[in-house]
A and B are shown apart, each in its own frame.
Chain A
């Protein structure tokens, strides 16, 4: 099977404190996943679950503590600046932080085209940029010479997607691309992702906490919780019929636009993030309604239930493992 990106046993540990009182906590704990060509893969979970750390390691912003990242079957070397290669590009959460407010936005485009030697003559450069901008529904004329503050949030996020598309990447890593955009304009961004996948064959690692757009746009999904992938499979199976208690909680917490179907049950929130990270057994045991003694002492193993990977003791009870 051809994979564009493969992550094997990827781990990131952070340590806090001094020599005498050191706390080591595992932000990302031995995760495995892969992305096929022309596929949108979602990494979902609440804030502080290790989604962004994973993205940063894939892009080479951070050094993994252990584990492997394979791009097209090639091992990512230590310190390799993946974000500088043509094949992988990134989109970040806040478009207003992506661009320098004192520089015109088009200067970034010209710079990228120049650095990657994508076009030579002035006309070719403009054409190249214009072609990429048209993909996201903008034109060169309405964008040239403008500063970031002259765009609306949704527009600027689309500009930032166009910038990522300049080098014809095979994989785009989108870290919470819609969380700063208005709910009414979110669809224009996620529709764009669909278009990129279907028309250009671009794969997207879509990192989000918004399961509604994740369901709408992605093919496969992995739900992360405190550094572990707790459930992974196709979106239909994972989101329509969640198995892990945390996935169920996430699924139920999406606000429905229907005042007749409000939440009736309460929800337990985490107190201090670090406490959950340092938990020995299943990290969700403190909030899970069905937690047993076993959950508090041992981390469950990955089990395949109905072609969906689940990390929960409830599903590995028979095998005693």
Chain B
């Protein structure tokens, strides 16, 4: 695995909170709390953690899909759209974001049944997807100077297409992925769950995006189909040499697909490394729990799950958010959030158990 030094997707102290106001009471849910991510080109980056730890919100922020009650409180999301240019995605207008989507960054949603329109044949959905990106581009000029480079970037991809050409492209893609030919002519409910999920992934990779973001793309599928879907994602990544960000709570899935893994807990990344190191030498007690809680074949010994339940993001404990569940808790854990220490070049962990005393106040 080669790591280029220029990240394609970068966040800088990203903070997105849900701010709820009810009868004058202000409630802040710190879903993404100070996250620094560097995701490089040509890699699969996995984000793992329990439900309710802010994974989905982080993806929303990466996708700059931020609507109230979700608010961007601080930090920035950067996309590298060419070798030299890096743009601040949070400053883009709605129309600019729309144009980047599917072409530069695309999303693989979780529930494939609610993605595909149940009353339209698959080919109509294809037409919608492709059509929205080709036909309307010419009409709306982008005037803001900040978006000029990006306008050029888009324009390279967007000649006008006729309906027939769109269908031809869809057929080609279906054949490429080895999906059955009649898939375009059927309605979503006629497909099995796995086939539907694969059609959704095919749609997401339609315009050969540089970044694909998958929110639990294999959850709620059974194991054989899950394996097929992972296989397909890996193939896409190999062919397009793009970046895939996968969110999944299943460490088995992460081990099979990700090159690098970030472990997320209570809105923060607590450990990040290559998957070999995460599974070979996990350091954070939470990571150890996540890996050890998986049952293994040939071993019927009693396995324990992570004790307790995840903290409420609206009411985080002081210090390290994991300390109420941590078996190795120390005094300082209750008072202060540890900074990242780097046990190896590509490994960082936020835990007081490690490091050389250079811990700061915030991770």
Interface residues of A (CB under 8 A from B): 45-48, 152-155, 179-180, 182-188, 190-191, 194, 209-213, 215-216, 239-240, 249-250, 253-260, 262-263, 266-267, 269-273
In the complex formed, the residue of A with least CB distance to B302 is A191
Judge if B195 is at the interface, Cβ distance under 8 Å.
yes
**Chain A residues, CB < 8 A from B253:** 255
Q: Which residues of A contact B191 (CB under 8 A)?
A: 272
- Give, as a whole number of angstroms, the nearest-CB distance from B287 to chain A: 11
Identity of the chain B residue whose Cβ is nearest the Cβ of A49 in the assembled complex:
B222
A250 touches B223 (CB 8 A): yes
CA distance A121 to B104 in the complex (A): 66
Q: Could you give 20 example pairs across A and B, Cβ below 8 Å? A: A47-B192, A179-B220, A182-B50, A183-B252, A185-B50, A185-B306, A187-B305, A209-B222, A212-B294, A213-B295, A249-B224, A255-B252, A257-B291, A259-B255, A259-B279, A263-B230, A267-B228, A271-B192, A272-B191, A272-B192
Within the assembled complex, what's the spacing in Å between the Cα atoms of A184 and B291?
8
Residue of B nearest to A276 (CB): B192
Docked-complex contact B193 and A253, CB < 8 angstroms: no
Picked from A216, A271, A272, the residue with its CB within 8 Å of the CB of B303 is: A216
Please give 12 more A-B residue pairs, beta carbons under 8 A apart, in addition to A184-B249, A270-B194: A47-B192, A152-B310, A186-B305, A191-B302, A209-B223, A212-B294, A216-B300, A254-B252, A257-B294, A263-B256, A267-B224, A269-B198
The verdict on A262 contacting B255 (CB below 8 Å), with A249-B224, A253-B227, A254-B223 known, is yes
- Chain B min CB distance to A94 (Å): 10
* Assembly CA distance A152 to B309 (angstroms): 8
Contacts of B275 in A (CB 8 A): 259
Indicate the member of A154, A180, A182 with the most B CB atoms within 10 Å. A182
Nearest 3 A/B pairs, CB to CB? A255-B252, A209-B222, A187-B305
- B 324-353 binary contact with A (CB < 8 Å = 1; else 0): 000000000000000000000000000000
Q: Would you call A184 and B306 a contact (CB within 8 A)?
A: yes
Q: Please measure, in the bound complex, the distance between the C-alpha atom of A121 and the C-alpha atom of B186, giving whole angstroms.
A: 60
Looking at B180, B252, B255, B295, the one whose CB has the most chain A CB atoms below 10 A away is: B295
B304 at the interface (CB under 8 A from A): yes
By size class, the interface of chain B is 35 or more
Closest chain A CB from B125 CB (angstroms): 18
List the A side residues contacting B310 at CB < 8 Å: 152
Q: Which residue of A lies closest to B286 (CB)?
A: A184
CA distance A191 to B304 in the complex (A): 8
Task: Give the residues in chain A near B305, CB-CB below 8 Å.
Answer: 184-188, 191
Q: Do A47 and B222 form a contact, CB below 8 Å, given A183-B249, A186-B293, A271-B180?
A: yes
Tell me whether B28 is interfacial, beta carbon within 8 Å: no
Instruction: Assess the B303–A240 pair: CB atoms within 8 A.
Output: no
Does B92 sit at the interface, judged by CB under 8 A? Answer: no
Residue pair B255, A255 in contact (C-beta under 8 Å): yes
Q: Across the two chains, which residue of chain B brings its CB closest to A270?
A: B192
Residues of A within 8 A of B52 (CB): 152
A-contact bits for B29-73, CB 8 A (1 contact / 0 none): 000000000000000000000111000000000000000000000
A48 in contact with B192 (CB, 8 Å): yes
Partner of A183, one of B190, B228, B251: B251
Chain A residue nearest to B277 in the complex (CB): A259
Q: Which residue of A lies closest to B194 (CB)?
A: A269
Say yes or no for B165: interface residue by CB 8 A criterion: no
CB distance from B203 to the nearest CB of A (A): 17
Q: List residues of chain A with CB within 8 A of the CB of B302.
A: 191, 194
**B250 vs chain A, min Cβ distance (A):** 5
CB-defined contacts of A46 to chain B, threshold 8 Å:
222-225
User: How far is B192's CA from A270's CA once the two chains are assembled, in angstroms?
Assistant: 8
CB atoms of B306 and A263 under 8 A apart: no
Per the 8 Å Cβ criterion, residues 164-201 of B in contact with A are 180, 186, 190-195, 198
Q: How far is the CA of A257 from the CA of B261 in the complex (A)?
A: 13
| Across-interface contacts of A183 in B (CB, < 8 A) | 249-252, 290, 293-294
Of A47, A191, A256, the residue contacting B252 (CB under 8 A) is A256
Minimum CB–CB distance from A280 to chain B (whole Å) comes to 20
* B228 shortest CB reach to chain A, Å: 4
The answer to whether A256 and B256 touch across the interface, beta carbons within 8 angstroms, is yes
Which residues of B lie under 8 Å from residue A210 when comparing CB positions? 223
Q: Which residues of A contact B227 (CB under 8 A)?
A: 253, 255, 263, 267
| Complexed CA–CA distance, A267 and B291 (Å) | 26
A153 with B51: CB separation less than 8 A: yes
Residues of A within 8 A of B223 (CB): 46, 209-211, 250, 253-255
Which of these, A190, A269, A273, contacts B224 with CB under 8 Å?
Answer: A269
Q: How far is the CA of A200 from the CA of B25 in the complex (A)?
A: 47
Which residues of chain A have C-beta atoms less than 8 A from B51's C-beta? 152-153, 182
Cα of A194 to Cα of B302 in the assembled complex, Å: 10
- In angstroms, Cα B275 to Cα A213, docked, is 23
Contacts of A254 in B (CB 8 A): 223, 252, 297
Question: Quick check: B295 and A255 within 8 Å, CB to CB?
Answer: no
Q: How far is the CA of A247 from the CA of B5 in the complex (A)?
A: 45
Find residues 281-303 in chain B having any chain A CB closer than 8 Å to their own CB.
289-291, 293-298, 300, 302-303
CB of B117 closer than 8 Å to a CB of A: no
Question: When chains A and B are docked, how far (Å) is the Cα of A46 from the Cα of B195?
Answer: 13
CB-based nearest B residue for A261 = B255
A186 to B295, CA, bound (A): 10
Q: Does B6 contact A (CB under 8 A)?
A: no
Contact: B224 with A253, CB < 8 Å? yes
Q: How far is the CA of A306 from the CA of B148 in the complex (A)?
A: 72
- Given the known interface contacts A48-B192, A184-B50, A267-B231, the answer about A253 and B291 at a Cβ–Cβ threshold of 8 Å is no
Q: A256 near B255 (CB under 8 angstroms)?
A: yes
Of the candidates B224, B250, B298, B304, the one whose C-beta lies within 8 Å of that of A187 is B304
B226 interface residue, CB < 8 Å from A? yes
